Amino acid sequence: MNILYPLLTMVTLTFAVTMRLLYFAVNSVKKGEVHIKQYRTYEGEFPPKLNSVRQHYKNMFEMPILFYLLCVLLLIQNNFNQIDIVFAWGFVIFRILHSISRIPNKDINIRFGLFVGSFIMLAAGWVHYGLKFINC
């Protein structure tokens, strides 16, 4: 198996979260809950659901950046093995589950646990990469 598959799955998840944000943003304007001019500087009141969706979208460009970097390094160097793929899939699966739990936005404990799981997978991937790099 290739490290490219979890990478592309994460990209797909990011596009799905982006589409969800666009859907909520457009609907909030259509319903009159938000004026289009508010999007210039994000000032004023936004519906709580839209704020939650925006925060979820922003999260997709925080810790996942380190995942993308790790995958690209592994691909460029053609230096990945089954353990790297397991860590990558582990990260992606935790992020997918985190996104699913984020949609109803109800149980912060579940979301936090899934976040920690993704963090552990990513950290383990970086440690494994670093150990391989040191042992070259």
Task: Give the model confidence (pLDDT) of 108-121 as tens digits.
Answer: 899 999 999 999 99
**Mean pLDDT value across residues 25-43:** 87
Contacts 24+ apart (CB under 8 A), 71-74: 71/3, 71/4, 71/6, 71/7, 72/7, 73/129, 74/3, 74/129
pLDDT of the residue at 135: 78
Q: In whole angstroms, what is the distance from residue 44 CA to residue 51 CA?
A: 12
How does pLDDT run across 95-110, given as a tens digit for each residue? Answer: 999 999 987 777 889 9
- In the chain, pLDDT over 90 holds for what percent of residues? 74
